[in-house]
Amino acid sequence: MREPVFTGTCCAIVTPFDEHGAIHYSRFGALIDELIDRGIDAVCVCGTTGESATLSTREHIAAVDYCVKRVNRRIKVIAGAGSNDTSAAVYLSQHAQDSGADALLHVTPYYNKASQTGLIKHYEAIAENVQLPVILYNVPSRTGVSLTAESYAVLAQHPNICGVKEASGNFSLLAHTRTLCPEDFYVWSGNDDQVVPMMSLGAKGVISVAANLIPEVMVQMTHLCLEGRFQQAGALQLAYTELIDALFLEVNPIPIKAAMNLAGYAVGSLRLPLCDMSSGGLERLRLAMIRAGLLQKTA
């Protein structure tokens, strides 16, 4: 029986940029170290939150390599390697494997709008060309396609495909997936506002945006669930609803980078076509951070 890549909270880490728009590696390293010091269970590099869509292939490979070396086996490293070009996804996966990553995260191909058969063939082609565990990533709001429970059941038969980051928000899909798939096909929440209900249906944790800002909270929430203490975990989920909602007022990672800059982490700007948060959204985010105790109220 396969073991889950991680249980608890994986932070989908931001990619900090310097004033010239290049990856700020010393800041990146400091963020990684702080997350580990604050109890995070795993880190996902070069995912959506890491602005993988605007990283060059060279930057992507270098960022994964740097993260793996900086982590130095202290926690698990999951490397984003998704693409809507299967051959490119294989290429990034093999480089991540060579870097020493522990697992791969593969978003469903975007824009192409592949059929379920095409999605299955895409993932099987990736899994056949690596030895690392492959975590599928289902986020139809961004990609325009959704895997079905039946497709998960097919893909779960491959020894290298170990589970899915499920961000569809579809609890019926989650329930059917858990029913049709074997126990060692694991599910992780891809939505910070649905961690507790998803874990009550058997998810093993979350791959989290909010963990960049509140790692201890997300770790406590998931570990309470793993211990079966869902009432306490639910109370924590509800207590941070306003902040988590504020972190998704605009498309990720616009708000999380704004929040981290407000909190003093100096992660830099975004790469176009993403741009700074609107003034109204930024004020709502700032107020939510004050109420969560992350910022001091100014006169």
Residues assigned a catalytic role = 137, 165
Q: In the block, which residue shows the tokens 């006169």?
A: 299
Coil/strand/helix, residue 200 = helix
Tell me the backbone φ, ψ of residue 48, rounded to 5 degrees. Answer: -55, -45
> Rounded to whole angstroms, how far apart are CA atoms 156 and 55?
30
Q: Do 189 and 9 form a contact (C-beta atoms < 8 A)? A: no
Note the Cα 255 to chain centre separation in Å.
15
Distances in Å between the Cα of 286 and the Cα atoms of 145, 169, 231, 269 are 34, 26, 29, 17
CB neighbours of 230 closer than 8 A, spacing ≥ 6? 196, 199, 200, 224
Closest CA to 148 of 192, 194, 108, 188: 108
> Rounded to whole angstroms, how far apart are CA atoms 164 and 77?
16
- Output the six-digit token pair for 29: 């390293």
Q: Do 110 and 74 form a contact (C-beta atoms < 8 A)? A: no
Q: Do 48 and 10 form a contact (C-beta atoms < 8 A)? A: no
